[in-house]
Every structure is written in C-alpha cells, then in structure tokens.
Structure 1
C-alpha cells in the first residue's frame, strides 16, 4: 500500500502551481482593461473578423517581452525603472517615466468612465458617482490590504474576463470567418492603420513591462526574507509559463471580444464604437439581455483588475526613478510617497473623466503613442536583459533576444505605416 503524501509536500506543490499564475498572468489579464475592450470592440464592429490576425501575431511578441521584464525583475531584485536608473542616463529615465505616467492617467480616466457607464447601464442612475466609488475602492484596497491577500484577490479577478468568452457563445458566430481572420493577415484599407496601431499599443503596453518587473522583484525580496525559495531554474520556468499563459489568456479573450462585436454590431451595420459601455449597450437589442449583462459585468470586473495595475505601475516607475521606498508589500506608513503616487493617479484619473477632454479620443491617441514608445522601450529592455553584469550573471537567452527584436521591429513597422497613412491623405 502506497504511503500517503506528506501534507507539507502537497502544500508546497499547490503553492508552486499558484505561483505559475503570478505577476505575468495578472499583467496579461489587466491588458484587457475597459479601454482595451473598447479598442477590440471597435475592431470587430468596424472590420468584422478581418483583424483577428493581430491577436495571433502579438501573442508571442508580447509574451516574450513580458518574460524578459519578469526575468529582469527576478534577477536584479529591482523594478524596470530602478534598473534603467542604474544603467542609463537620467534624461532617458525621466522621459520613459513621464510618458508612462501620462498614458496611465489617460487610461485610468477612460477605464473609470467605462466602469461608471457600465454600472449605470446595469443599475441605473448617473455614472459619475460610480467613477468616484471605483477609484476610491481600488485605492483603498491597494493601500491597506495585505500584499499576499491582495495578490490572491487580483488572481481571482482575472476570472471576470471569462464573461467575454461566454458572450461569444450566446451569439451567432461564423467560425469559418473567425479562423480566416486569424490566419490570413488582411488590411481593410489605409484608414485602418491607426486602429491597428492602437491594437498593438494596447496589447503590447509599456505599463505592463513595469508592473511585471516590479512585482517579480518584490516577490523575490519577500521570498529571500522568508522561506528558502525554489532554485533559479525553477524560477526561469515559472516566469516563462506565467508570462506566456498570461498573454495567451489576454489575447484569447481579446479574440472573443472581436468575435462578439463582429458577429453582432458589424453584421447589423453598427461600425463605430467609442466606449466599452457603448458596445455593451449596443449588444442588448442584437444579442439579448444575457449577452449585454455578461459584457457589462465584464467591464466592471476587468476595470477593478486593471486600475490597480495602472496606478501601481505608475507608482513603481515614479518611486524607483526617485529612489523612494517602493512596494505593495510595504505598509502605507513606511512608503508614503509610493502610496501617494497611487492615490494621485486615481485622483487624476477621476479628474480626466470629469474634464472636457474626450477620454476615448485621448485614449486612442495614448494607445497609438504607446505603440510608438514601445519600440525603443523594448530595445532598451532587450539590452538590459542581455547585459550579464546587470542581470547578475543570468542574461536572457538568444530565443528571447530574437523574439524581443521581432516585437521591436513589428512596432516600428506599425508606427511607420500609421505615419504614412496620416501623411498620404494630406499630400493628396
């Protein structure tokens, strides 16, 4: 008779399985925030299934970059901004952090607005009070809930994205057209390049680079201060699985969003979607109350996941750039400046929502700017990850250098084609 497995061994095995769904998986899920949902919904509404191939292309590229960032954080025990500060001139660091902070604030404003509108659609009443409630709740949770509990909460929040998978199966979908859109790259016309740039910019997002690197560094610090952590080989495999599964989950959900809106809105002739909440509202008469409810609830759930990642990545970047005490594992009393940036980001996001700025127009431009900024930032990340001295003797392998380089070249190509599409009509 086989002896029962010791309880400690089972607990350790379960803990390792949970670790696979760590910072990379949370980053991937947060990538499908309400503003990303709006971008993918616009792609499906405007062009049907034609742009599905962008999700197939961006998966390995985004996953490779996230893996590099995770390995930088784990090997250096420092976030991305801190690593840049150690190895690069100050102007480079300031420019990167400034662009990240501005894009994150705009993103926060759009996400909060979409969540407020979704809550208004579900429960009635004006959206503005809900915007304040969501911003305040997210800030308080991120500031005062124990880090380990909060990390587990974020993992469970990723399940909100399954609402979009469910929605795709309650509408009539031409799966043959879906497959063709995935494997046959097509461009509807030069006017679609700005939307493609927004898709790439919102899928391969710089704020996710900073979040994953800083989270890995923080978890490495906690592990070294407590029980002996698994060896470096296990950590490399875990980061790889975490990053690739996280971005796979993100892109599969994005495909379901494109599929749902293509099968309903595009077919019905509704080709212009400005917000995620508008997409949910437009679904109601075409796909029924159940699909509408799933889509709207998904907006709120993904927003509650994305807001702390957006505010947190901004806080990590700013605090590391200035050398402040940093980390969600720190108490609010010990890291006042870090949590102050989180609170300021939430407040500024609310102000963006209440301002005269068109949040979705600003968001589209921020996604495009992210697409332009991502290329040099990816090049910088590859350089840092390949530096054996910076990586404490654990540089990234050739495989990641090549995939990261491909991501950089693709982002450059998209930026060039987007610029050409702007110039060409003006020239005519």
Structure 2
C-alpha cells in the first residue's frame, strides 16, 4: 500500500491516458467487435509510455525543470511553438471531452441530461485545481480511479472461458469487420495510451513535488507501477466487452451499455462501483488535461506556474486553466457527443505524437541538462523503435479515418 501511495502521480497520469471517456467506450467497442485481438496494442503502448515517462521523470528530477520548459530552450522557440499549438489544441479538446464524460457519469447516476451537469463539472474541476494541494489531488483521484477494477472483478463473475480469452489475445484477426477497421481501432487505442498530455503532466508533476536526483528511484516506481495499472484497467474493459458482447456481435456505444455487464454480474453494487469509476477516471482526466494545457503554455512563455505557488503569484497560469475550462464548456454546449468528440481527438492526437516524443528523446540525451544521467543504449534503442511506431501511427491515422469513416 505504501508503494501504491508513492506511485499515485503515475497512476493518475496513466488513468487519464488509458481509461478516459473515449477509452471507456473505445476499449469496450474494441472488445465487442474484435474480441481480445487488440490486447497487443495495450502491451506495446504500456512499454512505450513507460520508456518515455521514465525519460520525462528523469529530466524533471535531474534538471529540476519540466520537459516542455527544456524543449523550448533546446530546440528553439519556433519548433517549440509548433509543438505547443498542436498539443494545446488536442489537450483542450480532450479536456472538453473529459468534462462531458463527468457529465455523462452524473447523468447515469441521476437521470438528468448531461448538458445540465457540464457547468457543474467545470466549476468542480476548477475548484479542485484552484484550491486542492497537488499531492492530495493526485492521491485522491489517482486512487479513486482504481474503482475501475470492478471490471476485473466482474470478469470473474461472468461466465468467462479463460482459455478462449487467452487464445484471442494471442491471435490477431479482424473478426470479419475488415482490416482497415481493425487498424483504425489499433491506431486509436495506441494514441490513447501515449497521449501528449501524459508526459507533460507527469514531468510537471515531478517538478510540483520537487523531485531531485535523489528521487530517481521514486520517479521510476511511479512509472513502473502507475502506467501498467492503467494498461491493466483498459485491458479489463476489453475483456469484459469480449465476454459480454462479442459472441452476439452487438457493440456498446454509451456509458450505460459499457456498465451493463458489470450490473449483470454484480447487481446494484456493481452499478454503483461502475458509476463511481466512470466519474473518478473522467474527473481525474479533466484535472490532468486542464493542468497539462496550462503547464505547456506557461512553460513556453516563461510564466510562473504550478499549484505549489499561490494563484496570485501564478495568475497567468490559472488564467490559462480557466480559459481552457470555458472553451471546453462552450464546445460541449453545442450538444456535441463527448464520446464522438474523443474519437476525433484520438485521430488528431495520433497525428501530433511525433512532435511530443522526438523532443523528449533529444533532451534525454543532452549532457548539458542531465550530465551522466542521459539515456543508455538500451533506453535509446527502445525509444527509437517506439518513435518509429509513433510516426507510423501518425501517418496512418487520417487515411484510416477517411477509409473507414472513423472506424464504422
């Protein structure tokens, strides 16, 4: 338990990336349509995000500065500005989707339209970001997101053929839906596991917690515990949907449908746990994306930033937070479907991924910042291979979206 408490920054970072509002439905739809055939995507994503999150955490601990702060200094303002604009837009769109996810979870709990809950969700997120200490925030919402383990519990209560489930995870197939649709879902799931805001949030969180070179072991424990937990939660969603929906060929397209197998297995207690999990992971993701947008903008322009300083001392940082939340509310008030919005966000995220991860690899090899703590050959090999996968996903995202009409 002590190690879990120590790794809550990694857990919150991973929950926001692996199981936000889009992934709750996208992972379930992947299981319903293709069974366990995308399990390998999560495995690759976990390995890759662990490699780059470790670099980002090491950069924060050794240099005392966040990744985006160093990207501007190392690569110059023009390259960093391109990175900022692309990642900021994707992150704010994601923030809007997460606010919509919180509202949908409250709709599931109360029966009231999610549009009524959108302003309430935005105010609640702003109050937490404004008033709650960073360490308390990461512990409360990082651990609350673990309520999603109810899907793993439900898997044991459902009539699960474990041998068939394992065979499906080792067999790559399109299940009759066509290979373009299979690869579109693969790219979308991959993009969700390595969203740009995850590493921005993680490295900035390390600075918020005042990591130093003496905290490198702590930073690695956050990575090696937190991000695999996020991958396991996403895998549980896929597995439950595989058992509950894949044999019939139906596909869940709402949060209520995603929760239905848990209710079938565990009754009212399962529904309560699922609603709590949906609320916790989407609220946590809203906190993460809101902070990430403000972190990136403030670090680029050299403003005072962070929750460790008072709002008066970091007025521009908190102003960017507020602007992001207001933009998210305005976008949702157009009655756009939050789940559909996230699907488009995942495609955009896949396109801009190289702009995020290449600079991290460059900075992690700069002895001017890290001294003898630069990447070793193994980390560079893993980072380079993963970067090639990121570039491939970036190039394939839009063509696959057009050919498959967003995976339909």
Residue aligned with 1:389, SS? helix
Change (3 A) 1:245 1:183: farther
Alignment equivalent of 1:164, drawn from 129, 151, 163: 151
Aligned partners of 1:33, 1:423: CA distance in 2, in Å? Answer: 24
1:308 aligns with 2:287: yes
Deviations 1:201-246 (A, max 9, x none): 11111100100111112222xx6xxxxx7xx3x5222222211211
Structure 2 residue 255 is matched with structure 1 residue 269: no
Q: Indicate yes or no: 2:193 matched with 1:203.
A: yes
- 1:13-35 Cα offsets, whole Å, 9 max, x none, are 96xx4674143232112222122
CA 1:216 to 1:260, structure 2 compared with 1: closer, same or farther past 3 Å? same
* 1:396 paired to 2:366: no
Change over 3 Å in CA distance of 1:185–1:239 after alignment to 2 = farther
Q: Find the counterpart in structure 2 of residue 10 from structure 1.
A: none
| Residue 312 of structure 1, CA deviation | 0.5
Query: Measured at CA, do residues 312 and 421 of structure 1 come closer, stay the same or move farther in structure 2, by a change above 3 Å?
Result: closer
| Pair member with larger Rg | 1
Contact 2:8 2:143 in 1 (8 A): no
Deviation of 1:336 after TM superposition, in Å, equals 0.9
Q: Does the aligned pair in 1 maintain the 2:294–2:320 contact within 8 Å?
A: yes
1:63 aligns to what? 50
Specify the alignment match of 1:257 in structure 2.
237
Query: Which region of structure 1 is more displaced relative to structure 2, 349-358 or 42-51?
Result: 349-358
- CA offset at residue 286 of structure 1? 8.5
Q: 1:62 to 1:104 in 2, by over 3 A?
A: same
Displacement of 1:287 in angstroms is 7.6
| Partner in structure 2 of residue 414 of structure 1 | 393
> Which residues of 2 match residues 29-178 of structure 1 at below 5 A?
29-31=15-17, 32-178=19-165
Match of 2:328 in 1: 349
Q: Which residue of 1 aligns with 2:13?
A: 27
CA distance in 1: counterparts of 2:41 and 2:207, whole angstroms: 31
| Match of residue 294, structure 1, among 259, 269, 273 | 273
In 1, are the aligned partners of 2:107 and 2:114 still within 8 Å (CA)? Answer: yes
For residue 324 of structure 1, the aligned residue among 297, 303, 320 is 303
Matches of 1:401 and 1:369, distance apart in 2: 26
- Of 227, 242, 256, 1:247 maps to 227
Instruction: Provide the secondary structure at the position in 2 that maps to 1:390.
Output: helix
Task: Output the CA distance in 2 between the equivalents of 1:140 and 1:423.
Answer: 40
Q: TM-score under structure 2 normalisation?
A: 0.90
Partner SS, residue 159 of structure 2: coil
Helix, strand or coil at the partner of 2:209: helix
- 8 Å Cα contact 2:365-2:374 kept in structure 1: yes
- Per the TM alignment, residue 269 of structure 1 is displaced from its structure 2 partner at its CA by 2.6
Which whole-Å CA distance do the structure 2 matches of 1:46 and 1:198 have between them?
A: 14
Q: 1:154 to 1:180 in 2, by over 3 A?
A: same
Question: Any unmatched runs of 5+ in structure 1?
Answer: 1-12, 224-228
Q: Cα offset for 1:119? A: 1.8
Contact 1:264-1:286 at 8 Å conserved across structures? no
| Residue of structure 1 in register with 2:202 after alignment | 212
Q: Secondary structure at the match of 1:355?
A: coil
Figure out how many residues of one structure are paired with residues of the other and give that number: 401
